[in-house]
């Protein structure tokens, strides 16, 4: 280590100029960040036949759930940002990342310490000849101020700040990704709840229809037209459907409880009135694939992690270069407390040191290799995140398009099953067919109606997932 004491006076301007030139010549070692490339298709494959949104709706807004036009959903969604505990964790982690940025930035500035000291000592009185000298008691009082400043000659501090800033941005994007995920989960649970309400309504109506069929069969049996077997079949079908209607309550209760947790409420104090699903998916503006890189918070978080890892390469490489530290000390020191604050008690010193590690057993090389490998891993993770994002959009574009066709076909199947039941019921009343035909027709209609409700629910879920896959109205420009 080299250390030199510097005397003030005529050399001070030259010293100040040298320090200024040294600092201005500082360069940050390590690679400058360049956003990695990722596979971006020119167009979505599953977009063919997609209903284009109207011009005023060409982008997804922040409150994307309002697209569904459901007042109850509109009232629930804002509570996610206020009360969801997982979001509270993500927000605290973002604040942690902000604090780390400020911690790294503090290294730009000198460190100053101030202290006060007092001691009283008595040295040994034994001399080299074996005789004793008079005992002397010495007092010492001090009031020092020490300053130390490491010059960021090679950019180690700058790269550290750069890495922490990118990590903080990634944390901010993670927060928004968590928010979007919770909002989407709430919307999915909400529409599932409405789907279950529709199933319950259908099953209750079917139970009422089966009760009428049972009464009809009993009348037919009393008239001697049918056997008791027909009555038993009608009763069995009625009870089975009643059990189905009751069983829906289990799934509804659990879904309602899940909604309560998402909005930060206790499941025991939260409830939603029944309201069967009648909505259809709104027109969702999809945009072009290249926009997805800026609209998905998870992609932004992954890309910022790449930037953070890139900066850490510079931090590791800076360890190969010497560190330059300026130091200064001034204050008061005296053996007499009464004279501590006199001019004669003043002292000062300034100095500079340069230190360089000459052997570390390959430690710095290993740390640099580790930083580069970490960077390569984050690049691969980023590219995988982009590919998965495009897959999610394509999946839900296909689902919405295909389910719309399936919904039309299923509605036709329900109409045909209803017409078939009407014909067979009339035939049964006329005594031309057995009750088994009626039961078969009733079960076919009920099965088709339940399937139609489930398809409507799947369409709403796919719409929510598509909006989530498109970023839910978020944009990378919102990063701090």
Domain tally, the chain: 1
Confidence of residue 342 (pLDDT cuts 50, 70, 90): confident
For 436-448, write each residue's pLDDT tens digit: 999 999 999 999 9
In this predicted model, what pLDDT tens digit does every residue of 314-323 receive, in sequence order? 999 999 999 9
Of 181, 177, 193, nearest to 77 (Cα)? 181
> What is the chain's mean pLDDT, rounded?
89
Residue 33 in contact with residue 155, Cβ under 8 Å?
Answer: no
Question: What SS3 state is found at 338?
Answer: helix
Residue-range definition of the domain harbouring residue 228: 29-104+153-321+380-478
Percent of the chain with pLDDT over 90: 74
Residue 296 lies in a domain: yes
- Confidence label for 224 from pLDDT (cuts 50, 70 and 90): confident
* pLDDT confidence band for 183 (50 / 70 / 90): very high
The alpha helices in 43-155, defined as continuous H runs, are 71-76, 78-83, 85-105
Is 112 contained in some domain?
A: no
Residue 216 lies in a domain: yes
Instruction: Give CA–CA dist 195/216, Å, rounded.
Output: 31
Q: Is 364 inside a domain boundary? A: no
Distances (CA, A) of 206 to 4, 236, 239, 245, 365: 96, 14, 11, 9, 75
- In a domain? residue 245: yes
pLDDT in tens, 41-83: 988 988 876 666 655 566 787 899 999 999 999 999 999 999 9
- pLDDT tier for residue 24 given thresholds of 50, 70 and 90: very low
**Domain of residue 179, CATH code:** 1.20.1600.10
- pLDDT value for 2: 36
Question: The tokens of 134 are what?
Answer: 């008079």
Environment class of residue 289 by beta-carbon count within 10 Å: exposed (0-12), middle (13-18) or buried (19+)? buried
- Sequence-ordered strand ranges (E) for 289-338: 323-334
Q: What is the pLDDT of residue 140?
A: 87
Judge whether 110 lies within some domain.
no
**Weakest mean pLDDT among 2-6, 55-59, 99-103, 367-371:** 2-6
In a domain? residue 330: no
Find the mean pLDDT for residues 142-163: 93
Which pLDDT band holds residue 137 (cuts at 50, 70, 90)?
A: confident
Residue 370 forms part of a structural domain? no
pLDDT digits (tens, 9 = 90+) for 365-406: 999 999 999 999 999 999 999 999 999 999 999 999 999 999
Report residue 348: phi and psi, to 5°: -160, 160
pLDDT value, residue 226 = 85
């Amino acid at each position: 280590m080299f250390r030199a004491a510097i005397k003030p006076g005529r050399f001070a301007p030259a010293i100040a100029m040298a320090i200024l030139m040294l600092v201005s010549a500082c360069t940050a070692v390590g690679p400058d960040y360049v956003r990695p490339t990722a596979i971006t298709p020119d167009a979505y494959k599953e977009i063919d036949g997609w209903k284009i949104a109207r011009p005023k709706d060409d982008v997804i807004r922040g409150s994307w759930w309002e697209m569904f036009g459901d007042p109850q959903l509109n009232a629930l969604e804002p509570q996610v940002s206020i009360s969801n505990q997982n979001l509270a964790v993500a927000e605290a982690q973002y604040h942690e990342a902000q604090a780390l940025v400020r911690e790294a930035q503090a290294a730009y500035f000198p460190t100053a310490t101030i202290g006060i000291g007092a001691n009283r000592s008595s040295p040994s009185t034994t001399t080299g000849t074996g005789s004793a000298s008079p005992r002397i008691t010495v007092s010492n009082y001090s009031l020092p101020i020490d300053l130390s400043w490491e010059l960021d000659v090679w950019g180690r501090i700058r790269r550290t700040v750069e890495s922490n800033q990118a990590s903080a941005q990634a944390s901010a994007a993670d927060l928004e990704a968590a928010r979007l995920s919770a909002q989407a989960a709430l919307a999915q649970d909400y529409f599932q709840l409405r789907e279950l309400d529709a199933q319950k309504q259908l099953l209750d109506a079917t139970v009422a229809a089966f009760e009428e069929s049972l009464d009809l069969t009993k009348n037919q049996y009393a008239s001697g037209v049918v056997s008791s077997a027909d009555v038993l079949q009608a009763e069995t079908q009625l009870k089975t459907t009643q059990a189905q209607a009751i069983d829906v309550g289990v799934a509804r209760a659990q879904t309602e409880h899940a909604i309560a947790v998402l909005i930060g409420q206790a499941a025991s104090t939260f409830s939603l009135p029944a309201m069967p699903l009648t909505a259809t998916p709104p027109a969702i503006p999809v945009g072009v694939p290249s926009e997805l890189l800026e609209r998905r918070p998870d992609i932004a978080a992954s890309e910022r992690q790449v930037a953070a890892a890139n900066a850490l390469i510079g931090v590791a490489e800076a360890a190969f270069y010497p560190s330059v530290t300026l130091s200064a000390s001034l204050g008061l020191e005296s053996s007499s407390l009464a004279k501590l604050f006199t001019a004669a008690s003043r002292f000062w010193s300034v100095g500079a040191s340069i230190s360089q590690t000459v052997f570390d057993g390959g430690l710095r090389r290993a740390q640099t290799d580790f930083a580069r490998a970490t960077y390569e891993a984050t690049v691969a993770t980023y590219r995988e995140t982009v590919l998965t994002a495009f897959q999610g959009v394509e999946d839900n574009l296909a689902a919405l398009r295909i389910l719309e066709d399936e919904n039309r076909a299923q509605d036709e199947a329900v109409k045909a099953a209803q017409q078939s039941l009407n014909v067979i019921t009339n035939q049964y009343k006329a005594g031309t067919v057995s009750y088994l035909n009626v039961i078969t027709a009733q079960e076919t209609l009920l099965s088709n109606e339940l399937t139609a409700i489930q398809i409507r629910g799947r369409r709403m879920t796919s719409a929510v997932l598509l909006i989530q896959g498109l970023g839910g109205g978020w944009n990378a420009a919102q990063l701090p």
